[in-house]
Structure 1
Amino acid sequence: MTPVVFGFATLLCGSASAGGILIYEAGQEGNGLANAGAAALAVDPSVLMSNPAGITQLSGTQVSANAQVILGDMKFSRDSGNQFGGNEGGNALQYLPGASFFVSHQIDDRSAIGFGMYGNFGLALDYDDDWAGRYFNQEAAIIGVSFQPTFAYKFTDDLSIGIGPRIMYAYYRNETAINNNLLGLRDSPDGQLEFKDTDTGVGLNLGLLYRLNESTQIGLAYTSKIDLEFKDSPTVRKVDNPIINAALRRLDVDSLKLDMSVPQTVLLSVAHDLDSKWKLLGSLGWQDWSEFGDIGVEVDASAAEVSRSADRNYKDTWHASLGAQYQVNPRVRWSFGLGYDSSAVNDRDRTVDNPMGEAWRVATGLNYQIDESLDVHAAYTLVWLGDMEVDQTKARSGDTLSGSYRNAALHIIGAGATWRF
């Protein structure tokens, strides 16, 4: 098969990797802590997302409603090694809104129930249609919304355990240009391939909360993986190259199926009251991204065979964060935190549909108690990705897209309110 056909075949990659990020922020007050103490701090019903056991510490009935927006700065710049024509793609992530809702209810002194609806998995990229990397990706989106009923029980005055089945509704979309030019002898406009589907997967959130003493408590939380399967007939437009059309028939894309696993995670957190004003918080976490990477379709075709497998070489990641809360006065609480996440890909494996790297988080927020039954909060998080080099090559043609994302960052702004009855 000619290099031109391979240029088309690699469009069928399904790494959904613009969404290869777990977002700790879902609009809740904890936005201002960079995930520090997330599994040990129970101040509102949103704790069931991080640790289901935490709702045993909430009295009565509590409702939390939140909204947020992610503003991105993800701009690709070509370097001297680039071999593709086109522009630099613009800002691939301009904004992404989100919302969350949580409720908890204390049944008795020992048990509590809750429910959460939140989106903490996924991002989206949208490049200019005629950018230099259009044959690798133009648009990629994976968005997951989770619904989590929760039950928690306090076995002793110091030990609580919680469980919550997590039902995720996920949307996937990938759009890529098709090179119609045969061996560079034609001058035809690009074709286009679009693949999109939705699926529902089920996982489990488990949590343990233990009070060491009057000042310190520890939280340990586990979330299982969620398997998703996207299956659709891709929409192919404006393909006038006979060799590419033959490849379409050979690859049987009418039954294209992409499998993906939202990674399992483990989070250990501690919360310590230093005095009546200060609370110190910390977290250590692990995320199983290595399994998420063995997904999708990337076809390396030859005259003899067509392979329909992809390994994006994802690797497991770890998380660490430190933070604090300061009670300014009886009504105002100030939060701040610093966090670090290792990269799920090595530099050599980074792709433009997966511009991931290590991430630093700097966060701050304020909570204001209007009265005993109502709090409002607002927070800001800077997710700093820094410089991310990309050197992505078509395996058969050998053409390389080379450049970098300079000073890449996400800005997450969230606000919400918590009612207590």
Structure 2
Amino acid sequence: MHKNTNALVKAIRLATLAVIAAPASVLAGGFSLNEQSASQMGVANAGAAANPENATTVLFNPAGMSQLSGTNISFGAAVLDIDAEAKSGAKAVNQLGGDVEGSRGGDIADPAVLPNFYLTHEINDSIDVGFGIHAPYGLAADYENDFVGRYFADKTELTAIAFTPSIAINNGKGLSMGLGLNIMYAEGRLTKYQDYSGIYGRWQAGYSQLEAGLPVPPTAVGVPDPSSIDGFDQGYADIEGDDVAINFRIGFLYELSDRTQIGLTAQTPTRFDLEGDAEVSKIPDTAVVTIPGVGEQVFPTGEQTNQSEKVKVPLEIPESISVGIRHQLADSITLLAGATYARWSRFEELDINSREGATGDISSATGRTGDTPITHITEKWKNTWQFNVGGIWQASPAWAFKAGYAFDESPVDQYVTARIPSEDRHWLTLGTQWKDVQSGWTVDVAVGTLIFADDAKVDEFQYLHDAPSTVDPNSGASNYQAEYELSAWSAAFEVSKAF
């Protein structure tokens, strides 16, 4: 990690490590997270832009603060339990085309907890302000050490937390406008095992050819005998980085009638540049050897080194736009609907770029030149839609019951990877709300389950950075194929108070 000298950045990092455990990226489009509020989760976030029930409107539509009186707080947490595991038949080959031995990697996602906190305050009849702390993005995948696809992925982690000051104004005639500033801290980690089979395999083949053609043993001209080397087949790469980024959310809320209102929110794009360090182990040392009758050739020396280098990982966060509608069908029945469009096509690649140029230790050891990334993964995500519908039945002044459904389109298209196996999903939720009218305390509880449209199918290669659809010839025959079984459930609670 790079050193953060800014006190605010340090505080953000400590808060993140204290309260956030990122789940696998299967709960919303891309690596966005749906579980931000139990009150909204009960209706699958349907109509969230038009349904300011409590202080969580700071996140969903800051304009909704204008419909809250006095001071309001909401706080809670969601528990996420995700099952993501490669099915039997998962297989991989190394650079030489040989089968990689290993397991399916196990369940790659552990249960996680996502807390949140929101506050709003009415300044006067026209102006409201608010603040929120929540986790907008996150993903995690951790395979077993003997995972058959370990040359493509081991650990993948993204942890993000946002601090969101907001303001809303209204014209007193049914129209409100709001603006929120998302100050986001993110840290990420990418690890995988390094496939050196091509280097050592070519060494073995070259040594055998020299042995058959030279009048003296190859060792006599400085080429070490590979048969004396044991276990020099793989290394390990570990990349970590962090950054702070800012984007904005603007919102509008309009009351069409006493029973119907519509909301619209839009979020600007931004980009994290996660700066940190890359460490790679067991990189083969090489030397130029002059072979009689052949000329200069590059051979491993039989030694290995561990190298590190300062790196940067760009991560695109897309712009999005959401629309919601709330209609009170009867005194006890409220209907909700919404849609969100996100421009995930901004996420075209996941690259590890050097901050030291070609002179960095890893770059020098691996022969990287120019602006070529140390590691490149082709992503080429697509833009997505999410559609939500839900309803609330106010059974009594104290009790309300909720239900919701959402269709969430996956942005992962042609290039499904072991790091982010993903598919379209259906989200079903149920919720209940208890309110003490006299004290203003409200408690929401919600549960949800994800049903995936199909198994995620991975057929992963290593591609060229300059030609993202072309397999990198230096990777040889390297390939990983698998189908993933995906399922998830979540539960959330929320406590709200109006003062």
Whether these two folds match at TM > 0.5 is yes
**Alignment-mate amino acid for residue 263 of structure 2:** G
Q: Distance in 1 between matches of 2:368 and 2:248?
A: 45
1:225-374 matches, within 5 Å, as 225-240=269-284, 242=286, 254-297=309-352, 307-308=372-373, 310-346=377-413, 348-372=414-438, 373-374=440-441
Change over 3 Å in CA distance of 1:80–1:216 after alignment to 2: closer
Task: Specify the alignment match of 1:111 in structure 2.
Answer: 127
SS at match of 1:75: strand
Q: Distance in 2 between matches of 1:263 and 1:363?
A: 26
Which aligned segments of 4 or more residues in structure 1 are displaced greater than 6 angstroms?
Answer: 243-246, 301-306
Change over 3 Å in CA distance of 1:244–1:71 after alignment to 2: farther
Structure 1 residues 311-346: Cα deviation after superposition (integer angstroms, max 9, x where no partner): 411111111111101111111111111101212122
Identify which of 51, 56, 79 aligns with 2:61.
51
Task: Specify the alignment match of 1:160 in structure 2.
Answer: 176
1:97-136 matches, within 5 Å, as 97-136=113-152
TM-score by length of 1: 0.88
Task: Specify the alignment match of 2:498 in structure 1.
Answer: 420
Q: Distance in 2 between matches of 1:80 and 1:179?
A: 18
Identify which of 233, 236, 245 aligns with 1:192.
236
Name the stretch that deviates more: 334-343 or 202-211. 334-343
**Alignment-mate amino acid for residue 410 of structure 1:** A
**Shift of the alpha carbon at 1:43?**
0.6
Which has the bigger relative contact order, CA under 8 A and spacing at least 6? 1
Task: Specify the alignment match of 2:447 in structure 1.
Answer: 380
Change over 3 Å in CA distance of 1:312–1:298 after alignment to 2: farther
Q: Distance in 1 between matches of 2:321 and 2:371?
A: 38
Structure 1 residues 57-82: Cα deviation after superposition (integer angstroms, max 9, x where no partner): 11110111111111101011242764
**Shift of the alpha carbon at 1:383?**
2.3
SS at match of 2:201: coil
Task: Specify the alignment match of 1:402 in structure 2.
Answer: 481
Asked if residue 218 in structure 1 is aligned to residue 272 in structure 2, the reply is no
TM-score by length of 2: 0.75
Structure 1 residues 234-263: Cα deviation after superposition (integer angstroms, max 9, x where no partner): 1223445649999xxxxx972322111211
Identify which of 455, 458, 470 aligns with 1:390.
458
Identify which of 167, 178, 185 aligns with 1:169.
185
Q: Distance in 2 between matches of 1:264 and 1:192?
A: 35
Contact preservation (8 Å) 1:390, 1:403: yes
Q: Distance in 2 between matches of 1:258 and 1:397?
A: 25
Task: Specify the alignment match of 2:194 in structure 1.
Answer: 178
Task: Specify the alignment match of 1:65 in structure 2.
Answer: 75
Change over 3 Å in CA distance of 1:74–1:203 after alignment to 2: same
Identify which of 34, 42, 51 aligns with 1:41.
51
Contact preservation (8 Å) 2:90, 2:483: no
Structure 1 residues 350-396: Cα deviation after superposition (integer angstroms, max 9, x where no partner): 00111122121111111111343201111112122341111112433
Contact preservation (8 Å) 1:165, 1:203: yes
Identify which of 224, 235, 249 aligns with 1:205.
249
**Shift of the alpha carbon at 1:302?**
9.3
**Alignment-mate amino acid for residue 235 of structure 2:** G
RMSD: 2.7
Change over 3 Å in CA distance of 1:71–1:311 after alignment to 2: same
Q: Distance in 1 between matches of 2:260 and 2:285?
A: 67
Q: Distance in 1 between matches of 2:339 and 2:391?
A: 15
SS at match of 1:290: helix
Contact preservation (8 Å) 1:18, 1:142: no
Task: Specify the alignment match of 2:96 in structure 1.
Answer: none
Name the stretch that deviates more: 268-277 or 82-91. 82-91
**Alignment-mate amino acid for residue 201 of structure 2:** L
**Alignment-mate amino acid for residue 31 of structure 1:** M
Q: Distance in 2 between matches of 1:218 and 1:377?
A: 23
Q: Distance in 2 between matches of 1:420 and 1:303?
A: 59
Q: Distance in 2 between matches of 1:253 and 1:358?
A: 38
Q: Distance in 1 between matches of 2:138 and 2:457?
A: 22
Change over 3 Å in CA distance of 1:402–1:206 after alignment to 2: same
Task: Specify the alignment match of 2:209 in structure 1.
Answer: none
Larger C-alpha radius of gyration, 1 or 2? 2
Q: Distance in 2 between matches of 1:57 and 1:383?
A: 32
Contact preservation (8 Å) 1:78, 1:402: no
